[in-house]
Amino acid sequence: MESKAKFDCCDNAQEKRLSSVNDTVSRAVSLCSKITEFEDVPLPDAAGRVNFGETVSLFSLPIHDHSAVDGYALGGSGEKAFKIVGRMIAGDCPKGRIAPDEAVRIMTGAPTPNGTQSVVMQEHANVADGHVVPNFDVPEGDNIRRTGEDVQVNQSLVRSGTRLDARHTALMTASGYQTACVVRKIRVAVLSTGNELRDTGVGMGPGHIFDTNRPMLRTLLNSNAVETTDLGIIKDDLGAIAETLKEAARDHDLIITSGGVSVGEEDHLKSAVVAAGGSIEGWRMAIKPGKPIALGKIGKAVYLGLPGNPLACFVDFLLVGRPVLEALVGAVQRAPLILNARAAFSWQRRPGRQEFFPCNIVGTSQEGFPLLEKTGRAGSARLMPLIEADGLGAVPASCSSIEPGSELQFYPFRADMGL
Ligand SMILES: Nc1nc2c(c(=O)[nH]1)N[C@H]1C(S)=C(S)[C@@H](COP(=O)(O)OP(=O)(O)OC[C@H]3O[C@@H](n4cnc5c(N)ncnc54)[C@H](O)[C@@H]3O)O[C@H]1N2
Ligand code: MOO
């Protein structure tokens, strides 16, 4: 059943009933039910997966008191001679007790004997005749890493919904885990629609183009947390599309299509979703490129219809598709990284829709913001400007003119410390 949603209008009178990106994302996320099946995976293979439930520490960290330096464990305080009564290296079993006038030769990581007041670095002590004399009165506790000072046993380590990376592999391994319990992979079906589309090398003729969006979407979906089914190219045929959608809805969490979401006579996706027994919940966003987008449900599967123009498809996947994937696995939703930036260029534009354009960082403005240059003439069918781009610049719907120094928003493609 089709349901009509209420949308904010953008400020162009001809562009009524367009929704904002935020409203569209909220609507899309509200269609998603969190996947509740889970599996155990070895920690080094768990990067990109989402933690199912809360993980608590099996051990205290550090597991035992140990020395932070190579030096001497001292049984007491003072700038005096301590008799060296033993030697401990990393891996030795914690044993023995030292008296206030005794010391133990100790290496970094070795357990400190009971009775240790402090550890003095070997550079800060003199050794002669089986005794060590620190160069100063070493404060109590110096250079001893205490049991549990980082993590207590049973302490919460990783929250439910956390996307795992090398940090979690390290901490969970240190506290006794070999595997992580993660949400099962999201099953995503991808298909393209359009009579003009051909796979590379298959039956190209006049009027045909290469199907760009399907390989692009498969690449965007290529993560450890997603299992993608490629359903190929479907002709602009309502019945064929509806049949494919209906079939895909049986065993996928998300169906992503490209093309056929606009208003032309061969734009069948909206009707096809309904014919497949589903509902369409949203239609158009006040952005450029990427205005037409279809959101809906077919059975339990979420449906996301992206526009055919490749840059529009790319932008809509990043803005709406990504949060949908996060919602399906119950990942903690993080605010998108949107930076304040300044323009290094002039640009006159027609107001009406928030506009995104590929751009790169060419310097830093006087105020310290990234200075952006467009990487080519933007257009929803143009891909070349993306290639040299560091991210997407954005201007609000009302903007009609950009001069050097004008404020922009910047959505970076990557963070250099990315995990
Ligand atoms: N009368 C109107 N026409 C259009 C409007 C509108 O508001 N009123 N919106 C325009 C906008 S904005 C966009 S974006 C496009 C989106 O249209 P569709 O999603 O229906 O996409 P198609 O018509 O199927 O294709 C558009 C364009 O993209 C090419 N294409 C399609 N699929 C692929 C693919 N997999 N790989 C590469 N290229 C693809 C297709 O050949 C077309 O050239 O609608 C505007 N029209
Ligand atoms: O939204 Mo369309 O992508 O402007 O061409």
- Locate 239 and state its tokens: 């019945």
Q: How far apart are the first and last CA of the chain?
A: 41
What distance in angstroms lies between residue 262's CA and the mean position of ligand 1's atoms? 7
What distance in angstroms lies between residue 312's CA and the mean position of ligand 2's atoms? 5
User: Which of 212, 306, 309 to probe ligand 2 with, by most ligand atoms within 8 A of CB?
Assistant: 309
User: Which is the closest atom of ligand 2 to the Cα of 292?
Assistant: 1
What distance in angstroms lies between residue 150's CA and the mean position of ligand 2's atoms? 51
Q: Is the CB of 258 under 6 A from ligand 2?
A: no
Q: Is the CB of 335 under 6 A from ligand 1?
A: no
Ligand sitting nearest the alpha carbon of 352 = 2
**How many CA within 13 A on the CB side of residue 316?**
34
Q: Is the CB of 194 under 6 A from ligand 1?
A: yes
pLDDT for 264 equals 83
Task: Give the Cα separation of 82 and 300 in Å (integer).
Answer: 73
For range 341-349, the mean pLDDT: 97
pLDDT in tens, 356-376: 999 999 999 999 999 999 999
320 forms beta bridges with none
11: confidence class by pLDDT, cuts 50, 70, 90: very low
State the residue for tokens 């993560």: 223
Tell me the pLDDT of the chain averaged across its residues.
94
Ligand sitting nearest the alpha carbon of 314 = 2
Task: Give the Cα separation of 177 and 26 in Å (integer).
Answer: 36
User: Which is the closest atom of ligand 1 to the Cα of 262?
Assistant: 20
Calculate what percentage of the chain has a pLDDT beyond 70. Answer: 96
Q: What is the 3-state secondary structure (H, E, C) of the chain?
A: CCCCCCCCCCCCCCCCCCECHHHHHHHHHHCCCCCCCEEEEEHHHCCCCEECCCEECCCCECCCCEECCCEEEECCCCCCCEEEEEEECCCCCCCCECCCCEEEEECCCCECCECCCEEEEHHHEEEECCEEEECCCCCCCCCEECCCCCECCCCEEECCCCECCHHHHHHHHHCCCCEEEEECCEEEEEEEECCCEECCCCCCCCCCEECCHHHHHHHHCCCCCEEEEEEEEECCCHHHHHHHHHHHHHCCCEEEEECCCCCCCCCCHHHHHHHCCCEEEEEEECEECCCEEEEEEECCEEEEEECCCHHHHHHHHHHHHHHHHHHHCCCCCCCCCCEEEEECCCEECCCCCEEEEEEEEEEECCCCCEEEEECCCCCCCCCHHHHCCCEEEEECCCCCEECCCCEEEEEECCCCCCC
What distance in angstroms lies between residue 392's CA and the mean position of ligand 1's atoms? 21
Task: Give the Cα separation of 395 and 315 in Å (integer).
Answer: 14
Ligand sitting nearest the alpha carbon of 316 = 2
Q: Is the CB of 288 under 6 A from ligand 2?
A: yes
Task: Estimate to the nearest angstrom the gap between the alpha carbon of 379 and the chain centroid.
Answer: 27
pLDDT for 10 equals 38
What distance in angstroms lies between residue 231's CA and the mean position of ligand 2's atoms? 24
Task: Give the Cα separation of 117 and 106 in Å (integer).
Answer: 13
Q: Is the CB of 291 under 6 A from ligand 1?
A: yes
The contacts of residue 26 (CB under 8 Å, 6+ apart) are none
Q: Is the CB of 209 under 6 A from ligand 1?
A: yes
The answer to whether the beta carbons of residues 363 and 371 sit under 8 Å apart is yes
pLDDT in tens, 150-171: 999 999 999 999 999 999 999 9
Task: Give the Cα separation of 311 and 197 in Å (integer).
Answer: 16
Task: Give the Cα separation of 127 and 407 in Å (integer).
Answer: 65
**Amino acid (one-letter) located at 163:** R
- Locate 146 and state its tokens: 């205490």
pLDDT in tens, 110-166: 999 999 999 999 999 999 999 999 999 999 999 999 999 999 999 999 999 999 999
For range 92-104, the mean pLDDT: 94
Q: What are phi and psi of 22, to 5 degrees?
A: -60, -45
Maximum Cα–Cα distance for the chain, whole Å?
A: 97
User: Which is the closest atom of ligand 2 to the Cα of 288?
Assistant: 4
Nearest CA to ligand 2 atom 2: 289
Of the candidates 88, 97, 139, 135, the one whose C-alpha atom is nearest the C-alpha of residue 118 is: 139
Q: Is the CB of 31 under 6 A from ligand 2?
A: no
- Locate 296 and state its tokens: 């809906």
| Residue bearing the bigger pLDDT, 202 or 44 | 44
Q: Is the CB of 291 under 6 A from ligand 2?
A: yes
User: Which of 309, 311, 353 to probe ligand 1 with, by most ligand atoms within 8 A of CB?
Assistant: 309
Task: Give the Cα separation of 313 and 271 in Å (integer).
Answer: 20
Q: β-strands 82-88, 102-106: how paired?
A: parallel
Q: What are phi and psi of 171, to 5 degrees?
A: -65, -45
